[in-house]
Amino acid sequence: MDLSALNPAQREAVLHVQGPLLVLAGAGSGKTRVITHRIAHLLERGVEPGQIVALSFTNKAADEMRERIAKMVGKKRAGELVLGTFHSLGAWMMREDPKGFDVPKRFQILDQGDVYGVVRSLLREHGYHGPASKRRFDLGAIVQRISLWKNDFLSTEQVKNIISSNDYDDIASELYDSYEDRLRSLACVDFDDLVCRIASHLQEDADCQQRWRERFRYLLVDEYQDTNTAQFQMLLELLGPERNLCVVGDDDQAIYGWRGAKVANILGFDVYFRDAKVIRLEANYRSKPPITTCANALIVHNTSRHDKELVPARRGGEKVQIVVTRDGPMESSWVADKIYELVHKERIPGREIAVLYRSTRQARIVEQNLQEHGIAFRVLGGQPFYDKKEVKDATAYLKCLVMPSDEIAVRRALDTPSKGIGRKTVERLGMWAESHDKRLIDAVHHVAEIDGIGARPRHAIERFSQQIRHAQGQLHQTTAAEALRNLLVEVRLRDNVLKDTGSGEATQNRWSGVEFLLNSVDKFERRAWDKQAKPKWNEYLGNLNLKKKDEDEEPPDLVTLSTFHSAKGLEWGNVFILGVEEGTMPHKRTEAPRLSDAISGDIEEERRLLYVGITRARDRLWLTRATTRVDRGRELEVLPSRFLNELPDEDSGVIEQYDVRDQEKLTTQTMEELADAFMSQLAGSGTRP
């Protein structure tokens, strides 16, 4: 394999294949090239593809990695590699060895929406939700706490001993046991279980651990700074005696502490593995020198970090501009005007422009200004495609056809569209199924035998039963996609979407997601038939919950609006960063008391967040701030961010300050002078104005 295209540090990382390795990969340092070349080098040395595990944090990143490797070693060998996310690896291991990981053979994976449904039901059962409750609780705050505790391997007893004066901590700890019991009764796991359960069972079962350690010889993790406690433990349990663990990451880009990521994992790697080789990738191939100079000057103020700096490989570049405006509307107006100038005067493609911000609320007025200019844009960080209600509803009906043992899917299909079947009726169906050791769908088909169900809901359930049986019968004559399409017409799901939207155009936009699902089902079936095999619906539907909307579906030439978190891993030629002020960047919550570690409350993480934003820019960068903001109807003065004081000063030659207020004063002064001159001219001519 030709390694001549790699720099010395990259080459060293590729060739060091035995023992623990920490690759500190600065922004824009070509880490993906290192990862793919390293895997290709292992294959060249005779390592079997199935013995190599490479993990990233998105399916999209894993797919891109596989495509690159396929170009180097061929599709067949690349296809045999174990590439994916921690969660997809956990799901695959559970399906391969359900007994070893104590899960049902046909377990289901709850997506976020289903988890919310379970928690909502438990809140109702515990008297915290419904008409009798005096307060409505934020489901996300409760789900987040349970997730954080699970990933830190805290038992329900340990959680109850945590001293807290916060209602959410108390309620989440009260529901924790019930939540785990409910997952067991539903034969389901949530996303956290896909990692936590793997780590726990490997630690507890020596035979199971040995089997998997013999299967995997080389472990490689990308974006290692984003790993949490459970993911680190999972790696340790899979790590064999050779300890061939290579982790690639950048502690300066650790920005997910709020969701449980532990920057200590990367900071302490060479402490935990005393013999670890540490290689720094510092050459930056992305940004012009003024941008890397600002990034280096900012991040050096963090004390908890590995010592390194970005060394630009490019030359030249314009100064980084700090733009000061009077208020928020002026800030967004200036940014939109500048983008218009870039697009229409400099002919820069919209896809090369991004506006980044700390909070999504900052984007609203920018969106409005861009629309007024007729500039097309996209907003990153939206709802995942498969989490959209109409797609989840259609998926529930698919599960009723091909995997009717999924109780949650049957409950959802019974409920949507509304059929007049109440919660108590569904509970009676569930009780009958449990007492007869049957599935919920069996209770649906035997509703005539169940006492206590009124005539109207009984008739609705019988009709639902007939619809499902009829569609299942079609599976023997046509494709599942076509049977599902016919079923959705029969239950009038599209009419239900129209009822929600009240608009034909809005309905079409939402229904396009269902059409995408139908096409996906059709393609999955056809791939199975091409291999002369039956479609593995358990695998398809299990992985469906792990997928996210592919951003490549977006039209290519759009200006991007994004939070810092959603922008990580992306880059643009021209970047605007909004609201570099105290209270926004860093956020005002940063120094507030923590609530059970649910908020990171970390100034250093806020600094890393701005660092990530700065290093997204290749050619030009603007940092904007206002001197006043409106808060709850009052105009308040805001201070410049402390981070601006950490950047080089104007004498450095890399920073330039531009005060829009001066331009405004100049314009006002010029207008006044013109008016005075005009009035003088009129007075001299004896003409009355």
Whether residue 25 is annotated as binding a ligand: the answer is: yes
The answer to whether the beta carbons of residues 349 and 315 sit under 8 Å apart is: no
HSE on the CB side for 201, CA within 13 Å? 19
Beta strand segments in 535-609, E: 559-563, 572-577
**What is the Cα Rg of the chain in Å?**
29
Residue type present at position 401:
L
Q: Which two tokens stand for residue 176?
A: 């924790």
Whether residue 30 is annotated as binding a ligand: the answer is: yes
DSSP 149-182: HHHTT--HHHHHTS----HHHHHHHHHHHHHHHH
Residue type present at position 422:
G
Close Cβ partners of 513 (under 8 Å, ≥ 6 residues apart): 385, 388, 390, 391
For 657: left if phi > 0, alpha if psi spans -120 to 50, otherwise beta; the answer is: beta
Residue type present at position 223:
E
The answer to whether the beta carbons of residues 307 and 52 sit under 8 Å apart is: no
- 262, 205, 327: which is closest to 628 by C-alpha? 327
The answer to whether the beta carbons of residues 281 and 25 sit under 8 Å apart is: yes
Give the position of tokens 């997809």.
88
Q: Which positions are annotated as active-site residues?
A: 31-32, 222-223, 253, 616
Helix (H, G, I), strand (E, B) or coil at 188: strand
Kindly report the backbone phi and psi dihedral angles of residue 162, in degrees, each rounded to the nearest multiple of 5, phi listed first: -70, 125
For 608: left if phi > 0, alpha if psi spans -120 to 50, otherwise beta; the answer is: alpha
Tell me: cis bond preceding 104? Omega within 30 of 0 counts: no
The Cα–Cα gap between 102 and 404 comes to: 22
Whether residue 27 is annotated as binding a ligand: the answer is: yes
Whether residue 71 is annotated as binding a ligand: the answer is: no
The Cα–Cα gap between 289 and 264 comes to: 30
Whether residue 130 is annotated as binding a ligand: the answer is: no
Whether residue 26 is annotated as binding a ligand: the answer is: yes
Close Cβ partners of 175 (under 8 Å, ≥ 6 residues apart): 119, 122, 123, 126, 142, 146
Whether residue 303 is annotated as binding a ligand: the answer is: no
For 380: left if phi > 0, alpha if psi spans -120 to 50, otherwise beta; the answer is: beta
Q: Is 378 exposed, middle or buried (0-12, 13-18, 19+ CB in 10 A)?
A: middle
User: How far is residue 442 from each of residues 2, 407, 680, 684, measured CA to CA in Å?
Assistant: 61, 11, 94, 99
The Cα–Cα gap between 477 and 481 comes to: 12
Close Cβ partners of 49 (under 8 Å, ≥ 6 residues apart): 43, 77, 78, 80, 81
Please measure the distance between the N-terminal and C-terminal CA atoms of the chain and give it in whole angstroms. 84
The answer to whether the beta carbons of residues 626 and 580 sit under 8 Å apart is: no
Kindly report the backbone phi and psi dihedral angles of residue 279, in degrees, each rounded to the nearest multiple of 5, phi listed first: -125, 130
For 134-150, what is the HEC assignment?
Answer: CCCCCHHHHHHHHHHHH
The binding site for ATP consists of: 25-32
